[in-house]
Each structure stands twice: as structure tokens, then as C-alpha cells.
A and B are shown apart, each in its own frame.
Chain A
Amino acid sequence: MWIYEKRLQYPVKITKTCPKTAQLIISQYGGPDGELSASMRYLAQRYTMPVKSVGGLLTDIGTEELAHMEIICAMVNQLTKDLTVEEAKAAGFDAYYIDHTAGLWPQAASALPFSAVEFQSKGDAITDLTEDLAAEQKARTVYDNLLRMITDPEVREPLKFLRAREIVHFQRFGEALEQTKEKMDAKNYYYINPEFDKKTV
């Protein structure tokens, strides 16, 4: 069960319309390394995690990623809410405008639609946690790239915050991997799959 709290995790107040910026940061909504993908990945993986506290961590981080998705959507919304057709045309936002007007729709910067194909839930704790470590790094790289390109401080502040979270999550997934390894045979971590070969753990 989730309960909505009527606030953003990090405040977003963008006063300048910029469809070009919106088109770039929308990747962190529906793109391959976006917040929606992150949230769905962790919330899917948790059910079969053999270590209870790791299932808890996946729930907490998966929930935080939903809040990050909301931050990104709020940014896209504020960047486009006063959009004119001329601005959309000039910024190359016209194709998005035709399909969605100024509505929010999960897609990558390249216009690829959101897809579950972008993440995995493999049913193997070592595999999934290693994927999660990589996922946090991929998202950090996207934020690095956005911070290199975007100049508006009102957009950069929340991006900087979101980038910092990727590093903290990486650390926690690393610790979760250590917790999982502690329950396994250090002589050969690959002898069994701890999520499937339960009786042999």
C-alpha cells in the first residue's frame, strides 16, 4: 500500500518556458535509465529477494524513485505549461506536441516510448543487485550529461539533487549485496541461485 503525500521531495520552481530542456529531461521520466524504469525495476525485484532487509531496501528506494519521477514530471510540466505553437516549432518540440500537446507522457529524449524492456527482474539476488548497481550509475551519467548541457539554475538545482541520490543508492545497493553474500557460501557464490534453490541455502 502506498499513501500519497501532497508535496515534492525536492522543491521545483521553474519560471522560464523551455521546451528544448523539457525534451531532454523527459528522458529521466520515461527513458531507459529514467526514474520510472528505476522504480519498476526495484519494486518488481523485491518479491523474491532471499534477504528480508534487502526486500525492504528495494521497497524504500523504489518508493523514492516514484518521488523522483514526480520531480522530473513537475519540471517538464513547468517548462511547457505556457508553451506556444511557435516555441514548440522553434525548439523541435513540435512532434511531441502533436501527439501529447503539453501533457506528460513517458518517453526518452530520443522519443522512444517507456518500455519494461529497459530493465530486468531476473529472479537471482546477485544478478539483480548487480543490475541495480549498474542502473544507479547509468542514471548518474544521464544527470551528468544534463548538467553539462542545461544552464538554467532553476532546472540545474533539482537535477543536482537527483544526481546525488544515485550515488547514495549505489552505496546502499552495494551494502545490500554484502548482506546477501553473508548468507551465501563465500567459497562459491555461484553454486546455487539463492532465490530459486531455497532449500539448499
Chain B
Amino acid sequence: MIADKEHLAMASVPVQTWGALYDKDEVLAAGTIFKELDMPFFAADHIPAKKGITDPLTEIQKISFILDDLRLYLDTHPDDPDALTLLKRLVKERKGLTVDFAKEHYPLTPDCMADIFEEKPDEMCFCWQEGPAPWEGGNV
């Protein structure tokens, strides 16, 4: 018996439905926001999850990653109301975090400087002068 939507000589993957999500502080360790898609490997079972890291850049990494994973879900579920509600909330939250980060530390993108130039027209930083290079391993 071939299930509905399945056909001979054709690959088939069931479409995911919206379900339980990890908390913001768990998503990086899980590698996904979706609990159902977290399928660990036995040889990586004992990697201790780093917890309680809340420096400003890590917070941006967490929320940006939730948005990355959410966007891929929306690419294949464009009408999902739960996903859209979360997207709308988090996009705004992320923008606030990146603006704050630019003010307190350094800009992550040239766009982040818009608010700062408005407040401080003499500011010289445009992107690369301040802060470590991303590959150097230092979060602020």
C-alpha cells in the first residue's frame, strides 16, 4: 500500500508541522529551534552544552540563529501563522540588539551605523576599525 502523496520511483519526505521549540538559550547547542528535528549522534552525546553565556554578541547570535532556522521553515511553509508571528516579533528584537551593540561596542554591518551617525555626526567608525575579526575567537 502506497501512502497518499507517495509514488513509485520518486523520493518523498513528510512535510513538518509546527511544534515544540527550544528556548533561546538552548538553540545553539541543539543546532535547531525545532525539538523534532534534533536528532543527535551517539558519538556527540556527551558534549556538555555551554549554558548561561549572555554576553551581548552571543545574545545576537542566538536570536539571529532562531531567525535563520525560522526563515528556512517559512520558505517551505509561507502561510504558517505561528512561524510568522514569531518572525515578526524577533526581527524587531534583533534590530534593537544590533543597534545597541553598535552604540556600545562596534557595528556588525555598515547599516548599523545609521542611528549612530545621527546622534554623533563626527563618528569616524564605518565598520572594520573596531572590534575583533569574527574568526579570531573573541566575543565582547
Chain A residues engaging chain B, CB cutoff 8 angstroms: 3-14, 53, 56-57, 60-61, 64, 70, 73-74, 77-78, 126, 130, 133, 143-144, 147-148, 153, 156-157, 159-165, 167-179, 181, 186, 189-190
What interface size band does chain B fall in?
35 or more
Contact call A178/B72, Cβ cutoff below 8 A: no
Report the separation of the CA atoms of residues A133 and B72 in the bound assembly, to the nearest whole angstrom: 15
Q: Which residue of A lies closest to B75 (CB)?
A: A57
Interface string of B54-86 (1 = CB under 8 A from A): 000110110011001101110111100000000
* Interface residues of A, dominant DSSP: helix
Inter-chain pairs besides A160-B47, A164-B30, A178-B12, 18 sampled, C-beta below 8 Å = A4-B109, A8-B134, A10-B28, A11-B28, A11-B57, A13-B139, A53-B78, A57-B75, A144-B43, A160-B41, A161-B28, A161-B29, A163-B31, A165-B31, A167-B39, A168-B34, A176-B76, A177-B11
Given the interface pairs A7-B61, A133-B11, the reply to whether A61 lies near B72 with Cβ below 8 Å is yes
Report the separation of the CA atoms of residues A133 and B11 in the bound assembly, to the nearest whole angstrom: 10
Report the separation of the CA atoms of residues A179 and B65 in the bound assembly, to the nearest whole angstrom: 25
> Max chain B CB contacts within 10 Å: which of A57, A147, A171?
A171
Contact call B47/A10, Cβ cutoff below 8 A: no
Contact call B69/A168, Cβ cutoff below 8 A: yes
Report the separation of the CA atoms of residues A57 and B15 in the bound assembly, to the nearest whole angstrom: 15
Chain B residues engaging chain A, CB cutoff 8 angstroms: 5, 7, 9-16, 28-32, 34, 37-41, 43-44, 47-48, 50, 57-58, 60-61, 64-65, 68-69, 71-73, 75-78, 106-111, 127-128, 131, 133-139
Report the separation of the CA atoms of residues A104 and B43 in the bound assembly, to the nearest whole angstrom: 28
Report the separation of the CA atoms of residues A185 and B33 in the bound assembly, to the nearest whole angstrom: 34
| Chain B residues with CB below 8 A from A165, complex form | 31-32
Report the separation of the CA atoms of residues A7 and B28 in the bound assembly, to the nearest whole angstrom: 14
Contact call B31/A178, Cβ cutoff below 8 A: no
Question: Which of A3, A57, A190 contacts B109, CB < 8 Å?
Answer: A3
Contact call B15/A178, Cβ cutoff below 8 A: yes
